[in-house]
Amino acid sequence: MPETQNLYTLITGASSGIGRAIAERLSEKRHLILHGRDLQRLEACRSHCAHPEMHLLWMHDFCDLEGLAPSLTKLLAETDIAVDCLVHSAAVLTLLPVRAVTHAAFSKVLDANLVSAAEIVSLLVKRRVNRQQLKNVLFISSIASNFGAPGFSMYIASKSGLDGLMRALAVELGPGVRVNSILPGGIRTPMTTSLLEDREVVDKLARDYPLGLGEMGDIVDAAEFLTSESSRWITGQQFVVDGGRSINISI
């Protein structure tokens, strides 16, 4: 079979939110590996994709970091495919005031959001596992990466770490591999639903966001751009998609 037929885009966190929305868009033109923790939701995602039969499922909980590499290696070996593009959208949002933060809680967040990304990239640049096919890496980070907010210390540390990892990888793996992050602002997803139930929060967001709250489609368009040839000279960058929130210090 020609090489390109065996090249897949791996999307972590594809069972919901931004990961799922990106999967549905990219499914039109690519083979996908849809990653998540919940088989039912993964299958629901696949059924909403274009050409469902073209895509594979990979279930693994990133709390189990030790088992990640063997699990993904097995999938690639059994199917004889390689991954040329990684979109890392899996993340947990755990809010805790800093006085209640524990090592165990912090580790869970870091493992799921940050170390998992490093593990996967490390695996995908191993010649015997992925035949040097990796070309493009995209992390779904957050504008929180560059700011602070009460209760968000673990989450922000993980996203800031993710962007640091992104820059290090861009420099180390260039020119063969491009690595970038998208930093979304506040949008409605399953992860942010409970936050957005609070009326006061929603009102503040409307004031803080010059272009109002965003939608998943806004992030998907940016993801499509950054994983296409139109962005072939962009690497090592935080790509902010936030309706102007980050630059808004007006009263």
Binding residues vs another protein (CB under 8 A):
167, 170-171, 174-175, 178, 185, 210-211, 214-215, 218, 221-222, 224-225, 230-237, 239-244, 246-248, 250
Closer CB to another protein, 149 or 168, in the complex: 168
CB of 207 to another protein, least distance (A): 12
209 noted as active-site residue? no
Closer CB to another protein, 71 or 238, in the complex: 238
Q: Indicate which residue of 62, 155, 209, 239 is catalytic.
A: 155
- Report the amino acid identity of residue 2: P
Closer CB to another protein, 194 or 248, in the complex: 248
Closer CB to another protein, 76 or 114, in the complex: 114
Alpha-carbon radius of gyration of the chain:
18
CB of 75 to another protein, least distance (A): 30
CB of 248 to another protein, least distance (A): 6
CB of 219 to another protein, least distance (A): 8
Question: Which residues are tagged catalytic?
Answer: 155
